[in-house]
């Protein structure tokens, strides 16, 4: 049986099945809290724990899937390129918004971490939590953070953003769709963007652009640390 679980195919199939289950549950519940990624992670962890399958066995297939993360980040370029007209028109507000948001995110995370007295390892693990996972993982890894905690923080942040986006738009009286979109993308990356797409085309496009721009700005900020 060990050989069965040790095949990379086991991990790959488990990921795909768990993700499909996550999508199905999201569809049935129709709630932003039912995030397919979160459900899939929970399902895989529960299965590994109850069946007593070692994490290393699962990660043989997991590593194959993780290998696709760099290409996935690279092709964000094509989604930004597809919206180049919108970006040209609102270039300055988009870039300045992403800059202000990224600085706020990094500074407030750093300040709160110090306030809670967290270790440096944890601080660098959560510092890039508002940018898209592959970028956040690289920033965290480069500074000696624990990438698994980074992923957890990024996923939590994304779900917070997706769940509370409509509420935040109302509370902060954000009337301009460009402002709403950039804000969602800057604070909660791709998971938030999926919610922004439901709010409107402009919101979705602007949120998508903000993933890339805020990611780049945060990389720049991390170089200063």
Partner 1 sequence: MKLLLEISLIFAVCLAGQGLAALLPFPFPSSVMAMVLLFLLLLIKLIKPRQIENFSGFLLKNMALLFIPSGVGILESLDALRGSILPLLVICLVTTVLTFAVTACTVHGVILLQEAVCRRAEENKCGMSKGLAGKEDILHD
Site for partner 1 in 41-80 (CB under 8 A): 41, 44-45, 48, 55, 58-59, 61-63, 65-66, 68-80
Q: What is the DSSP string of 130-169?
A: TS-HHHHHHHHHHTT--HHHHHHHHHHHHHHHHHHHHHHH
CB atoms within 10 A of CB 87: 19
Residues 161-190 that bind partner 1 (CB under 8 A): 161, 164-165, 168-169, 172, 174-176, 178-180, 182-184, 186-188, 190
Q: What is the SS3 assignment for 66?
A: helix
Q: How far is the CB of 139 from partner 1 (least distance, A)?
A: 7
Alpha helices in 30-143 (DSSP H): 36-50, 55-66, 69-74, 76-82, 84-89, 91-115, 120-126, 133-142
Token pair belonging to 210: 């903000």
Q: How far is the CB of 168 from partner 1 (least distance, A)?
A: 5
When asked if residue 157 is in the footprint of partner 1 (CB under 8 A), the reply is yes
> In this complex, which beta carbon is closest to partner 1, that of residue 2 or of residue 179?
179
Residues 191-210 that bind partner 1 (CB under 8 A): 191, 210
Residues 77-106 that bind partner 1 (CB under 8 A): 77-82, 90, 92-94, 96-102, 104-105
Residues 111-150 that bind partner 1 (CB under 8 A): 112-113, 116, 118, 121-122, 126, 129-130, 133-135, 137-139, 142, 146-149
Token pair belonging to 211: 């993933």
Q: How far is the CB of 3 from partner 1 (least distance, A)?
A: 20
Closest CA to 98 of 215, 220, 219: 215
Q: How far is the CB of 182 from partner 1 (least distance, A)?
A: 5
Return the residue matching tokens 């994304």: 158
């Amino acid at each position: 049986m060990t050989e069965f679980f040790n095949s990379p195919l086991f991990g790959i199939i488990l990921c795909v099945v768990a993700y499909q289950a996550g999508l199905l549950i999201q569809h049935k519940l129709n709630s932003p809290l039912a995030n397919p990624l979160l459900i899939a992670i929970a399902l895989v962890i529960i299965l590994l724990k109850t069946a007593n399958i070692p994490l290393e066995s699962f990660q043989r297939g997991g590593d194959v899937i993780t290998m696709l993360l760099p290409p996935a980040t690279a092709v964000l370029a094509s989604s930004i390129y597809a919206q180049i007209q919108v970006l040209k028109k609102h270039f300055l507000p988009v870039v300045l918004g992403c800059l202000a948001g990224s600085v706020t995110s990094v500074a407030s995370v750093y300040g709160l971490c110090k306030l809670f007295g967290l270790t440096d390892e944890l601080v660098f693990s959560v510092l890039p939590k508002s940018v898209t996972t592959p970028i956040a993982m690289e920033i965290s890894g480069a500074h000696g953070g624990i990438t698994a905690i980074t992923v957890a923080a990024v996923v939590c942040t994304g779900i917070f953003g997706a769940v509370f986006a409509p509420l935040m738009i109302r509370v902060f009286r954000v009337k301009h769709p460009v402002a709403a979109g950039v804000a969602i993308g800057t604070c909660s990356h791709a998971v938030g963007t999926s919610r922004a797409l439901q709010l409107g085309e402009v919101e979705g496009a602007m949120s998508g652009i903000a993933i890339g721009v805020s990611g780049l700005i945060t990389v720049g900020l991390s170089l200063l640390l």
